[in-house]
Amino acid sequence: MKIRTEKSSDINAISALTYQAFENHPHHAPGAKPTEHLIVNNLRDSGALTLSLVGEDETGIVGHIAFSPVKIAGVASNWYGLGPVSVKPQQQGRGIGGQLITMGMNILKEQGAEGIVLLGEPEYYGRFGFKVHSNLTLADVPAEYFLIKSLSDDKAVIPAGEVIYHRAFA
């Protein structure tokens, strides 16, 4: 699999893939239609899609990951939100999402990002070093599902406050 930044010609494929990846997702209300593809499109349209990577193989685009800036305690930060991450349903469980996550973290770290936050499954994201940290919170979300990873050295000070994602997530 090859990982690269998205091109404008990928937009429709990314939207379709993201919709498929989240259709009938267990965290959605029964019968609810996915909106994650709209989040990615709105981030892109707002100029807030900091990093958008696709994974492709001989069949085309099989995975996508988005990163966008977050505010901490109402102030712009050098921290980013990971998500959504999408993998074609028939390709899930083959490490595509993990490769996209690792590549995205490495690129953001090279660009000087201080850290990444996400809302997700602790068992899955824990393998990439994400964990709960009491300094950062996300309103109306159980603390065990809001995870962070500092991209600075291990002694870095974690900022404190409520994290606010871009309005595209509303």
- Homologous superfamily of the 2-169 domain (CATH): Gcn5-related N-acetyltransferase (GNAT) (3.40.630.30)
Paired residues of 63 in beta bridges: 55, 87
Dist CA 158 CA 170 (whole Å):
25
Mean pLDDT (the chain, rounded): 94
pLDDT at 153: 74
Q: Which residues of the chain have pLDDT under 50?
A: none
Residue pLDDT, tens place only, 25-46? 767 677 778 889 999 999 999 9
Dihedral pair phi/psi, residue 139, rounded to 5°:
-55, 140
